[in-house]
């Protein structure tokens, strides 16, 4: 039975390696400027994890088999080794903290550095269960909003009709067009509960919290249509809260905006 | 032996009610907690199988289930709100009613006083109260499950404002959510009472010679767990009361101004949804260690017993337990990296989180060190302890991914997270409970459990839990968000459907295999062979007394301790184990 348990533990180890390292094909496509750094950090972490995981499981299985109770002699009498404990402590502390520190670079790029001043401004207002995407229009300014102006059909984000800055705002539901290779700044808001703006191909996720305006920025490097998912439980049809990110050329983007503005 | 030195000594009760229901005996209370957890574990497991059905076959109808829960199946297939309510209740019942009660209230209550040589807990009445308060909490939680309007759908974390707005936010958010919060608040009170008792008992009631560095590691983990509970449950209690006030009293602790929900303008202003997350996770992260630490203690105890070796690095193990407990209070922010938390504090939380890997690595290393050079006896409890080590490594190590800010930007709230925490705080902790059950059953009930059935149960469960939770990591890497009633709405998730089907089938098989445990448990309770005092040839104090022990544990005597807790295979000793109460050996061991 000892041999059987050892083999099962080793098989689990092999299965884990398979389930984690089929990854290059199983990660969704990566199209953002910062996403490569996140994927690289994942791989670095995977290496550290794999070394620790495989050695622990292999040794566990081996010891179970090797030291199964046989014969009449007694077990080795020892209370451990301070030298080994201290060595392991220092080694793991250095490796784990270094790993955590390395990951902060891309985090800083995303959250500590602000979007460049020429970034395209977009406001995303989440609600149960849709994404309202607003562009500031030609004046580059968003109009004021208030709940009393909200109408689900005609004015989903509640733009104040009296505010001249809001006249040329463009609102699109669930379809978010962005120009390729240009910095985009998104301001996240929510009308009701907490949602999370998740674009797998961008390697980007940020909660949209009611009462807060949370800025995020990114650059999409490849044209195409991609899915936006909600990643924070927001109620009944959380699983259908889907939007589309449409990455297009500058020209197509300008045309797209103009068409919406005319409506 | 005067009343002064042993305030906990009380007469053996004679009536049925004082003996079995409102008992002051820590052993009976421990068994009561254990049965509460056993009931809850089966309930929570059944709920999980129900919602797994929808994930694998979203459009299938289930006539039998539809008869039991007619509103959950209106129109044929399981409704999404029913799915979410099952997810919510599964998580809540498992975390609170199983993982918090069985390891601590169950085994801790039963074994801790005996292992330190005490006649009972320090405050027997408080002990009884803590169980009955917890029982009331369970009753209210089950009521939430069957509440008019449905059970709550906001998950076991009950994020505000979804949980704060009432029925307008979704089905089940009315009465069901209110009952849920009340139950949790009551539970906090019960856990607090228990925690006070454990801490006082360990500090004040140890037998002569039972110094801190002679405490079994189980006692160290129960003691540390009690401190965690004492410091974290009050915060959840406060959060729960504030949330209840937002719902019923018109306050706005968690609800900001300017909300419009289902076309209704909400008349609240000034609250913060993030505040709930801080309060919840300030409790919620230590809670992970409340669930898993006792399992670590049981594993250390069992590896030593069945490898016939002292625990490798006993002192390092004690320091690691304390370090894990302390660090556990400074890392709650890693649940909130993408919540709108300050990105600067996220960096601090991230680095502190990864340092928990250090004491965890020490523990794993010492478990392997304990096996090294041993004479391993593969009994059923030992199989579960070995399974715990394997699961602890697999579940713990993926924390290196999730503890990092940058990786959370992608992995947060994907299936990677339930994969990770189920392995570590879910099934590793459950393996600790199973290990404890097979190990202490003879002491608690005076009969042996069946080894053959026990081993069969182990193989199904060990392979089963890996089959269920390992593939979830892959689904997380594919970007599958958790708490989706189905994966079929998104094109990029199309490849995950076969995973869902595989996991559901594995879950059904594993859940069914738990019947083996139930049969073994019930059969052995009545028909198992009589247990000797020390069936495992173990060293700690509970094995020096009859199985089951007399009412005052040590039959009017007070044990005196001469040895450390894990003196196995001592050279020159007459047997391959030296019990803690054995007279000092010639030669000074």
Longest CA–CA span in chain A (Å) reads 93
Q: Report yes or no: B435 and B299 within 8 Å, Cβ to Cβ.
A: yes
Task: List CB contacts (< 8 A) between B154 and chain A.
Answer: 233
Nearest to A227 among B263, B400, B490 (CB): B490
Q: Give the integer Cα–Cα distance in Å for A130 and A229.
A: 10
Residue A215 to chain B, least CA–CA distance (Å) = 9
Token code pair at residue B16: 């049925």
Residue reference for tokens 């199309």: B494
Handedness of CA A187, B406, A243, B486 (dihedral sign): negative
Q: Which of B312, B413, B568 is the closest to A80 by Cβ?
A: B312
Place of tokens 């959370």: B408
Rounded Cα–Cα distance for residues B491 and B533 (Å): 62
Does residue A184 belong to the interface with chain B, where contact is any CB pair within 8 Å? no
Q: Smallest Cβ distance to A214: which of B340, B346, B354?
A: B340
Question: Which three-class secondary structure string do you get for B565-585?
Answer: CCEECCCCCCCCEECCCCCCC
Q: Are A122 and A144 in contact (CB under 8 A)?
A: no
CA distance A20 to chain B (A): 6
Cα A119 to its chain centre, rounded Å, is: 21
Digit-coded pLDDT (tens) for B568-581:
999 999 999 999 99
- What pLDDT is stored for residue B388 in this prediction? 98
Which residues on B lie below 8 Å from A1 (Cβ)?
Answer: 378, 455
DSSP class of A151 = B
Which chain A positions have a beta carbon within 8 Å of B383's beta carbon?
5
Residue B185 near residue B177 (C-beta atoms within 8 A): no
Dump pLDDT digits (tens) for B524-572: 999 999 999 999 999 999 999 999 999 999 998 999 999 999 999 999 9
Identify the pLDDT of residue B225.
Answer: 98
Residue of B84, B314, B364 lying closest to A56 (CB–CB): B364
pLDDT category at B3 given cuts 50, 70, 90 is very low
**Quick check: helix, strand or coil at residue B558?**
coil
Maximal CA-CA distance, chain B: 83
Look at chain A and count its residues. 263
Percent of chain B with pLDDT over 90: 93
Cα B245 to Cα B272: distance, rounded to the nearest angstrom? 14
Give chain B's end-to-end CA distance (angstroms, integer).
Answer: 29
Three-state DSSP at A176 gives strand
Distant-in-sequence, close-in-space partners of A263: CB < 8 Å, separation ≥ 6: none
**Residue B378 to residue A27, Cβ atoms within 8 A:** no
CA–CA separation, A81 and B244 (whole Å): 53
A138 touches chain B (CB under 8 A): no
Do A232 and B413 count as a contact with CB atoms less than 8 A apart?
yes
- Tell me the chain A residues in contact with residue B574 when contact means C-beta distances shorter than 8 Å: none
Q: Which residues of chain B does A74 touch, with a Cβ-Cβ cutoff of 8 Å? A: 308, 375, 569, 571, 576
Interface contact flag, A191 B261, Cβ < 8 Å: yes
User: Could you give the CA distance from residue A91 to residue A8 in angstroms, rounded to a whole number?
Assistant: 29
Mutation pick from A72, A115, A208, A235 vs chain B, by most beta carbons of B within 10 Å, is A235
- Token pair for residue A41? 């950090």
Give residue-wise pLDDT tens across range B257-298.
Answer: 999 999 899 999 999 999 999 999 999 999 999 999 999 999
Distances (CA, A) of A87 to A83, A91, B362, B365: 6, 6, 10, 11
pLDDT at A147: 93
Q: Are B538 and B560 a contacting pair, CB within 8 Å? A: no
Residues of chain A with C-beta less than 8 angstroms from the C-beta of B401: 42, 45, 49
* Nearest beta carbon to residue B355 from set A37, A96, A105: A96
Per-residue confidence at B7, pLDDT binned at 50, 70, 90? very low
B406 and A238 within 8 Å at the Cβ level: the answer is: no
- Whole-number CA gyration radius for chain A: 26
Contact A236 B409 (CB under 8 A): no
CB of B261 closer than 8 Å to CB of B169: yes
Question: Who's near B413: CB < 8 A, 6+ residues apart?
Answer: A196, A198, A205, A231, A232, B481, B482, B483
- Given a cut of 70, whether residue B2 has pLDDT beyond it is no
The Cα of B64 is separated from the nearest Cα of chain A by a number of Å equal to 24
Q: Which residues of A touch B355 (CB under 8 A)?
A: 93, 96-97
Supply the DSSP symbol for B334.
G
Q: Measured between CA atoms, how close is B162 to chain A, in angstroms?
A: 5
A114 Cβ under 8 Å from any chain B Cβ: no
Q: What Rg do the C-alpha atoms of chain B give, in angstroms?
A: 24
pLDDT for residue B1: 38
List chain B residues with CB under 8 Å of A76.
309, 372-374, 569
B562: phi then psi, degrees, rounded to nearest 5: -120, -10
Q: Are A123 and A140 in contact (CB under 8 A)?
A: no
For residue A263, what pLDDT is reported? 64
User: Is-contact A196 A231, C-beta < 8 A?
Assistant: yes
Which residues does chain A have with pLDDT short of 70? 22-25, 263
C-beta atoms of B259 and A206 within 8 A: no
Output B375 or B68, whichever has higher pLDDT.
B375
**Distance (Å, whole) CA B398 – CA B37:** 28
User: Per residue, what are the HEC states of B96-114?
Assistant: HHHHCHHHHHHHHHHHHHH
Does the CB of A148 have a partner CB in chain B at under 8 Å? Answer: yes
**For the segment B379-426, what is each residue's pLDDT rounded down to a tens digit?**
999 999 999 999 999 999 999 999 999 999 999 999 999 999 999 999
Q: Supply A163's token pair.
A: 């505010």
Residue B4: the pLDDT is 42
- How far is residue B463's CA from residue B476's CA, in Å, rounded to a whole number? 21
Chain-chain contact of A63 with B344 (C-beta, under 8 angstroms): no
User: If pLDDT is split at 50, 70 and 90, which confidence band does B586 have?
Assistant: confident
Identify the residue whose tokens are 């560095």: B213
> pLDDT digit string (tens) for B448-464?
999 999 999 999 999 99
Percent of chain B whose predicted confidence (pLDDT) is above 70: 98
Query: Would you say how long chain B is, in residues?
Result: 589
Identity of the residue in A69, A89, A191 whose CB atom sits nearest the CB atom of B376? A69
For residue B120, how many C-alpha atoms fall within 13 Å in the half-sphere facing its CB? 27
What would the pLDDT profile of B162-220 be if each residue is shown by its tens digit? 999 999 999 999 999 999 999 999 999 999 999 999 999 999 999 999 999 999 999 99
What pLDDT score was predicted for residue B9? 59
Q: What is the pLDDT of residue A104?
A: 94
For residue B248 the two structure tokens come to 């019923």
pTM of the model: 0.96
User: Looking at the partner chain, which of B354, B383, B471 has a beta carbon nearest the beta carbon of A99?
Assistant: B354
Q: What's the whole-number average pLDDT of chain B?
A: 95
């Amino acid at each position: 039975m000892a041999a059987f348990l050892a083999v099962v533990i080793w098989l689990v180890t092999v299965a884990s390696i398979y389930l984690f390292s089929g990854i290059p094909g199983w990660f969704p496509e990566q199209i953002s400027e910062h996403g490569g750094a996140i994927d690289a950090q994942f791989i670095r972490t995977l290496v550290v994890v794999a070394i620790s995981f495989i050695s622990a499981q292999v040794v566990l299985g081996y010891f179970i088999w090797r030291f199964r109770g046989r014969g009449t002699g007694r077990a080795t009498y020892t209370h451990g080794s301070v030298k080994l404990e201290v060595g392991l402590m220092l080694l793991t502390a250095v490796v784990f903290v270094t790993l955590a520190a390395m990951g902060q670079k891309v985090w800083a790029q995303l959250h500590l550095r602000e979007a460049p001043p020429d970034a395209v401004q977009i406001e995303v207002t989440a609600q149960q269960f849709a994404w309202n995407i607003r562009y500031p229009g030609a004046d580059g300014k968003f109009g004021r909003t208030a709940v009393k102006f909200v109408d689900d059909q005609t004015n989903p984000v509640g733009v104040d009709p009296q505010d001249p800055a809001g006249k040329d705002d463009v609102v699109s539901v669930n379809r978010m067009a962005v120009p390729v290779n240009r910095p985009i700044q998104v301001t996240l808001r929510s009308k009701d509960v907490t949602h999370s703006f998740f674009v797998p191909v961008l390697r980007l996720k940020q909660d949209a919290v009611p009462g807060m305006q949370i800025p995020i920025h990114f650059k999409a490097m490849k044209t195409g249509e991609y899915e936006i998912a909600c990643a924070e439980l927001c109620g009944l049809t959380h699983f259908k809260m889907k939007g589309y990110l449409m990455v297009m050329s500058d020209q197509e983007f300008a045309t797209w905006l103009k068409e919406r503005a005319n409506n | 032996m005067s009343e002064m030195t042993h305030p906990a000594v009380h007469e053996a009760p004679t009536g049925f009610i004082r003996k079995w229901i409102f008992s002051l005996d820590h052993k009976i209370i421990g068994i009561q907690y254990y049965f509460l957890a056993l009931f809850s574990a089966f309930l929570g497991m059944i709920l999980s199988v129900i919602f797994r059905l929808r994930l694998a076959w979203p459009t299938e109808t289930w006539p039998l289930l539809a008869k039991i829960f007619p509103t959950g199946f209106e129109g044929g297939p399981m409704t999404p709100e029913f799915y979410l309510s099952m997810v919510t209740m599964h998580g809540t019942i498992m975390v609170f009613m199983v993982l918090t009660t069985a390891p601590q209230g169950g085994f801790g209550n039963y074994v801790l006083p005996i292992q330190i040589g005490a006649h009972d807990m320090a405050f027997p009445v408080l002990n009884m109260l803590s169980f009955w308060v917890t029982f009331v909490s369970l009753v209210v939680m089950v009521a939430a499950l069957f509440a008019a309007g449905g059970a709550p759908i906001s998950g076991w974390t009950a994020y505000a404002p979804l949980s704060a707005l009432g029925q307008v936010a979704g089905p089940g958010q009315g009465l069901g959510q209110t009952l849920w919060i009340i139950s949790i608040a009551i539970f906090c009170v019960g856990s607090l009472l228990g925690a006070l008792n454990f801490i006082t008992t360990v500090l004040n009631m140890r037998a002569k010679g039972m110094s801190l560095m002679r405490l079994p590691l189980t006692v160290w983990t129960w003691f540390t767990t009690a401190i965690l509970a004492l410091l974290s449950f009050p915060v959840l209690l406060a959060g729960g009361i504030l949330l209840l006030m937002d719902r019923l009293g018109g306050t706005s602790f968690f609800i900001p101004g300017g909300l419009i929900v289902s076309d209704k303008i909400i008349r609240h202003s000034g609250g913060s949804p993030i505040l709930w997350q801080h309060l919840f996770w300030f409790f919620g992260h230590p809670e992970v260690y409340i669930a898993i630490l006792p399992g670590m203690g049981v594993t250390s105890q069992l590896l030593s017993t069945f490898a016939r070796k002292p625990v490798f690095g006993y002192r390092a193990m004690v320091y690691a337990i304390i370090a894990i407990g302390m660090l556990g209070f400074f890392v709650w922010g890693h649940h909130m990296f993408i919540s709108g938390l300050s990105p600067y504090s996220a960096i601090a939380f991230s680095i502190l989180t990864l340092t928990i890997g250090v004491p965890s690595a020490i523990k794993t290393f010492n478990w392997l060190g304990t096996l090294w050079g041993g004479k391993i006896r593969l009994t059923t409890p030992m199989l579960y302890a070995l399974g715990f080590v394997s699961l602890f490594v697999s579940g713990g190590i993926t924390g290196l991914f999730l503890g990092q800010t940058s990786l959370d930007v992608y992995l947060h709230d994907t299936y990677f997270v339930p994969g990770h925490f189920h392995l570590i705080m879910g099934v590793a902790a459950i393996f600790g409970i199973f290990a404890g059950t097979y190990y202490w059953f003879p002491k608690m009930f005076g009969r042996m459990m069946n080894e053959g059935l026990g081993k069969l149960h182990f193989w199904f469960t060990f392979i089963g839990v890996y089959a269920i939770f390992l593939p979830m990591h892959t689904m997380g890497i594919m970007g599958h968000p958790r708490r989706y009633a189905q994966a079929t709405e998104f094109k990029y998730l199309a490849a995950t459907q076969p995973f869902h089907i595989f996991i559901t089938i594995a879950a059904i098989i594993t859940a069914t295999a738990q019947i083996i445990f139930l049969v073994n448990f019930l059969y052995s309770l009545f028909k198992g062979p009589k247990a000797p005092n020390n069936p495992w040839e173990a060293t700690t104090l509970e094995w020096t007394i009859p199985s089951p022990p007399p009412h005052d544990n040590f039959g009017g005597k007070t044990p005196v301790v001469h040895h450390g807790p894990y003196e196995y295979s001592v050279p020159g000793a007459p047997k391959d184990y030296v019990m803690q109460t054995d007279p000092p050996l010639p030669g000074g061991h």
